[in-house]
Amino acid sequence: MSGPAVLRSQRFRAEREGDWKRLERLLGKVEGASAGALSDEELLALPVLYRATLSSLSVARATSLDKSLIDYLEDLSTRAYFLVYEVRGKPLERIGRFVAHDWPAAVKAVWPETLASGFAFILGAVVAFVLVGGDPDWFYAFVPQGMAGGRDPAATAEFLRHTLYDRPQGQTGLSAFATFLFTHNVQISLLAFALGFAFGLPTVVLIFWNGCTLGAMYAVFARHGLGVELGGWLMIHGATELFACVLAGAAGLRIGLSLAFPGERSRMEAAAVAGRTAGAVMAGVVVMLLFAGLLEGFGRQLITAAAVRYAIAIGTGGLWLAYFYGPRRVGR
């Protein structure tokens, strides 16, 4: 190998060897034990380092660097490939790991975005409640006619109370409204996540508007002294469903903020790192929405006592908070 070629190979190695050595150390930890030996940060770094090594290998081949370097990168890339892409462990073990660690870790990681998303939702609810309370005509600006189903400022107290406590036959009354509301919240959750790529701004607007819808509806019931009753009816499943919407907004914000403020990374690299955390959050959001659907479909229909409804709401909300933010063992 000529002198300039050797010099070029040495410079190339010096610039990138840090990433190769880090990947090699991570592979050694996993091969000596299991993927559970890696921290959250190391798990997120693994595919990034793998792609960087592949890029180095491609450059080394294209520029005809020394064969020993190419052989080393080929071996390192092969080892990393089987770790990144091969199925390690049984599917039930992977699901168990997601439930026990990956999902709550991802939710805990986006806590600043969760606070921002939750604030936007609550602010929207308060703004709409105040506006509709002062002028009922504002209701129609926040709640589509199809969603209201007659539960608007013109409704009587008797009608509103009937929808809260009487068990409807088939998909009528508040049962139809609950189905509509659940579908609406699922759509909001998916959109809030997807719109995060627009630097997070549409996500904030969407979460705020979802809060406005709830606040406007609550104002109508509260006007007839049924605010507490509506709260119990909503929160028996809403403690889970609305929390899921807020987390979806947080996932969208995580991606949007990574694009707006990528730091030392490129925007694509920052989005890729944020996307792995946000993706885990959204996978869990789907689980939460399914659970909320079960509560809405069975618990709300079978339980009519407001005190019991609130007890279930507080219980499920407390369990979610403990699951996501409670202390956990460091070892896995």
How far, in Å, CA of 51 to CA of 47, rounded? 6
| Pairwise pLDDT comparison (29 vs 249), residue with the higher score | 249
DSSP per-residue letters across 68-87: HHHHHHHHHHHHHHHHHHS-
DSSP state of 88: -
State pLDDT tens for residues 182-193.
777 788 888 999
State pLDDT tens for residues 289-314.
888 887 777 766 677 788 888 999 99
- Two tokens at 9? 């190979």
State pLDDT tens for residues 163-204.
777 554 444 444 555 566 677 778 888 899 988 888 889 999
pTM of the full predicted structure?
0.70
How far, in Å, CA of 165 to CA of 207, rounded? 29
List the one residue out of 97, 83, 82, 22 whose CA is nearest residue 53: 22
CB 215 within 8 A of CB 128: yes
How far, in Å, CA of 234 to CA of 123, rounded? 18
Q: What per-residue confidence (pLDDT) applies to 282?
A: 93
CB 209 within 8 A of CB 141: no
Q: Read off the amino acid at residue 91.
A: P
- Two tokens at 123? 């602010």
List the one residue out of 33, 35, 28, 25 whose CA is nearest residue 88: 35
Q: Read off the amino acid at residue 1.
A: M
State pLDDT tens for residues 70-85.
878 888 888 787 777 6
Percent of the chain with pLDDT over 70: 84
List the one residue out of 217, 185, 213, 192 whose CA is nearest residue 293: 185
Q: What per-residue confidence (pLDDT) applies to 243?
A: 95
| Domain spans, the chain | 3-88, 105-325
Q: Read off the amino acid at residue 7.
A: L
How far, in Å, CA of 268 to CA of 213, rounded? 35
Over residues 250-254, mean pLDDT: 95
How far, in Å, CA of 274 to CA of 254, rounded? 6
Mean residue pLDDT of the chain comes to 82
Over residues 1-20, mean pLDDT: 70
Q: Read off the amino acid at residue 45.
A: A
Contacts of 122 (CB under 8 A, 6+ apart): 211
| Pairwise pLDDT comparison (4 vs 61), residue with the higher score | 61
Q: Read off the amino acid at residue 222.
A: A
- Two tokens at 79? 């080892």
Q: What per-residue confidence (pLDDT) applies to 34?
A: 57
Per-residue confidence band for 221, with pLDDT thresholds at 50, 70 and 90: very high
Helix, strand, or coil here: 170? Answer: coil
